[in-house]
Amino acid sequence: MAAPCGSRCPVLELLGDHTFRTVCLGTGLIGATSGALGCFSYLRRQALIGDVVSHASLLGIVGAFAISALIAGTGTKAIVVLIPGALVAGVLALLLTRAITSRTRVKEDAALGVMLAVFFGTGILLLRVVQRSPRISGHAGLEDYVFGLAAALTQGDLLLIAVLGALAIATMILLWGALKLHTFDSAFAHSMGFDATRVDTILAVLQVTSIVIGIHAVGVVLMIALLVTPASAARQWTRSLRGMVILSAIFGAVSGAGGSLLSALYARAPTGPMIVLVATAIFIVSILFAPDRGILARYRSRKRRRRAVLGAGGA
Amino acid sequence: MTRASAPPALRIDGLTVAYESDPVLWDIDLELPAGCIMGVVGPNGAGKSTLLLSTLGLLPPLAGRVEVFGQPLERVRHRVAYVPQRRSVDWDFPATVMDVVLMGTYGRLGWFRRPGKTQRAEAMAALELVEMVEQADSQISELSGGQQQRIFLARAFVQHADLLMMDEPFAGVDAKTERAIVRLLHGLRDEGKTLLVVHHDLATVPEYFDQVALLNRKIVACGPVGRTFTDAHVERTYGGSVRVPVPRA
């Protein structure tokens, strides 16, 4: 496939490459999942909790690796071992943040900051300990979870991402009414029998899942970009929750796949930052040019209104 | 006493609620006969909203019991509609007026079913009642305060509930809308529904309500307006400086 194109068409050459297709598909799926579920975080003004969860998952990743090393002698980086670790740490960080906000008088932004720092700091520390320990082998590549390395995605990773992502999206579609109602008006939803704690927990599990499947490719530091940026961009263009979620999933998929393409093309730059660049480009176009909500549209309608008012007064 | 006939629409026994350590509501007893409209009044921080929230099970009480139509709330949830404060939600949510009114049907539909033609027709009928049919496809972010309150009412109407609990339905709406809403509420009462309304304007209490509960962390007095809404009770509720206002001419 790649032969007739030669080195003059790097994009086509890449698309013919099996490894690259795996990577592109993987990051696209990750982007679509977190883009869709990120809408609920955005609308509930809980975007930053996602950042805490993704930073916290590093501790879970390294912790799961260290435990496997202690048990088996040599550590495993199999995603089926690391992802449960990330899930546990992510959920723990989420619950702790909630507990601090609801049980103490610490404000939410401060609680988020504290939890993010504690979990990420401990994660980095444990990573160093594992890397320096002469008794633990097989830790090479563990550091890729910090900034992400989509090139490291294997067929097995892709399968797991696809299965977990599909499960999360299917659950979202199945419980659509309850999730929508709870996001708009949780007290009203509760009064009709959609228990607020239960729906909250379901949403949290879905969001943690969408984060955890992405951290290897995107990195814990920048995963927040796929959770928040596509949703913020999609909100600009849409007038219904359904439209927002679909568009945000598309924006997320384009950011993920486009970011890995760019990172493969240009000097093997880390994937995370490239994905962020694509997502941000979509975001900037959206806040500038979206009809109704875009900056330009609002500027124009303000000018029109002013002219109408002044015209009426002058005539 | 009408104990022999139908049970009261709402009966609260010894309800005590605390957020942290200080009780917000203390030993509340309240009985709301079916087919009445009751106003709940009291100063800021008296626990009026908390009373609604804990009655609906949104805030677990420390002690006490709530019965709706003689049964525990869980058994009769579908007979109760809650209208939260308009300001409690973010109106910059991507949804149309129709979307929000349809939400009132979700309780009957349950976790998995979606609203269909029947539900849309019901929502349209409710929008007609609140005179918002023309705005059915408008974005909710474009509505005025009065219009927001109207669609919250429409959302409660499609629940076909027998007991409606409303938190300050007149807050921030203009006089015309307020009169329209009062007419709707009285219409519901005349159909045999029961209404519990958190309210803050003492001057309109005798005109709007048949029953009143004066609340300041405890129930100061509760019963028919004529007998209950007295200078002495209002003074005890608001701390001396407030009396029953002279009705506006």
Instruction: Give the tens place of pLDDT for each residue, A72-93.
Output: 767 777 777 888 899 899 889 9
| Among the partner residues A175, A191, A239, nearest to B111 by beta-carbon distance | A175
Buried/exposed code over A155-176 (b: 16+ C-beta within 10 A; e: otherwise) = eebbebbbebbeebbebbeebb
Residue of chain B minimizing CA distance to A44: B90
A177: chain B residues, CB-CB within 8 Å: 106, 109, 111-115
Q: Per the confidence metrics, is the pTM higher than 0.95? A: no
Q: Which of residues 149-178 of B touch A (CB under 8 A)?
A: 155, 159
In angstroms, the separation between the Cα of residue B231 and the nearest Cα of chain A is 35
Nearest to A83 by CA among A145, A171, A25, A149: A145
B229 lies within 8 A of chain A by CB: no
- What pLDDT is attached to residue A142? 84
Q: Distance (Å, rounded) from C-alpha A298 to C-alpha B3?
A: 62
Residues in chain B, pLDDT under 50: 1-3, 249
Per residue in A232-278, pLDDT tens? Answer: 999 999 999 999 999 999 999 999 999 888 888 876 677 888 899 99
CA dihedral A285, B138, B168, B22 (to 10 degrees): -30
In sign, the C-alpha dihedral spanning B10, B150, A40, A31 is positive
Q: Say yes or no: B103 contacts chain A, CB-CB below 8 A.
A: yes
Query: What share of chain A has pLDDT > 70, as a percent?
Result: 95
Tokens encoding B50: 């908390």
Are A239 and B94 within 8 A, CB to CB? Answer: yes
pLDDT at A175 (0 to 100): 93
Cβ–Cβ < 8 Å for B197, B185: yes
Amino acid in the structure at residue A136: I
* pLDDT confidence of residue A267: 64
pLDDT of residue A289: 85
The span from the CA of A169 to the CA of A277, in Å, is 25
- Here the tokens at position B144 are 């005025």
Residue A296 has pLDDT above 80, yes or no: yes
What's the mean pLDDT in A21-39? Answer: 91
Measured between CB atoms, does A193 come within 8 Å of chain B?
Answer: yes
The arithmetic mean of pLDDT across residues A217-243, rounded, is 91
Burial class (CB in 10 A: 0-12, 13-18, 19+), B240: exposed
- Asked if A182 reaches chain B (Cβ–Cβ under 8 Å), the answer is no
**Any CB–CB contact under 8 A between A291 and chain B?**
no
pLDDT at B244: 64
Q: Find out whether A223 and A211 touch, Cβ atoms under 8 Å.
A: yes
Measured between CA atoms, the residue of chain B closest to residue A171 is: B112
Min Cα distance B187 → chain A (Å) is: 23
pLDDT tens column, A139-168 = 778 888 888 888 778 888 888 889 999 999
Tokens of B109: 């539909």
Instruction: Confirm or reject contact between A196 and chain B (CB < 8 A).
Output: yes
- Point out the least confidently predicted range of A32-46, A216-230, B82-96, B202-216: B202-216
Percent of chain A whose predicted confidence (pLDDT) is above 90: 39
Assess B89–A contact: CB distance below 8 Å, yes or no: yes
In the predicted structure, residue A4 carries a pLDDT above the cut 50: no
Q: Which of B56, B89, B107 is facing A185, going by the closest CB pair?
A: B89
Q: Are A191 and B77 an interchain contact pair (Cβ–Cβ within 8 Å)?
A: yes
DSSP H helical ranges for A213-240: 215-218, 223-237
Amino acid present at A312: A
Q: How far is B233 from chain A (nearest CA, A)?
A: 32
Interface test with B, best of A188, A200, A242 (most B CBs within 10 A): A188
Distance CA(A44)–CA(A38), nearest Å, equals: 10
Cβ pair B112:A174 closer than 8 A: yes
| Spatial separation of the C-alpha atoms in residues A234 and A248, rounded to whole Å | 5
Q: Is the pLDDT of residue A197 over 90?
A: no
Residue B106 forms contact with A (CB below 8 Å)? yes
Predicted pLDDT at A6: 47
For residue B113, the chain A residues in CB contact (below 8 A) are 177
Where residue A2 falls among pLDDT bands split at 50, 70, 90? Answer: very low
Of A60-69, A91-100, A229-238, B75-84, give the range with the top mean pLDDT.
A229-238
pLDDT (0 to 100) of residue B140: 92
**DSSP, res A222:** T
Q: Is A241 within 8 Å of B53 when comparing Cβ atoms? A: no
Q: Does A109 touch chain B (CB under 8 A)?
A: no
- Measured between CA atoms, the residue of chain B closest to residue A237 is B94
In this structure, what is the dihedral angle of CA atoms B207, B1, B196, B26, given to the nearest 10 degrees? 120
Cβ neighbours of B56 in A, within 8 Å? 187, 190-191
End-to-end CA, chain B: 35
Is the Cβ pair A240, B111 closer than 8 Å?
no
Can you give the pLDDT at residue A305? 83
Asked if the C-beta of A170 comes within 8 angstroms of chain B's C-beta atoms, the answer is no
Residue B1 has a pLDDT of 45
Residues 19-48, chain A: which have Cβ within 8 Å of B? 43, 45
Query: Could you report the predicted ipTM of this complex, rounded to two decimals?
Result: 0.87
The CB density around residue B90, as the number of other CB atoms within 10 Å, is 14
State the nearest Cα–Cα gap between B56 and chain A, in angstroms: 6
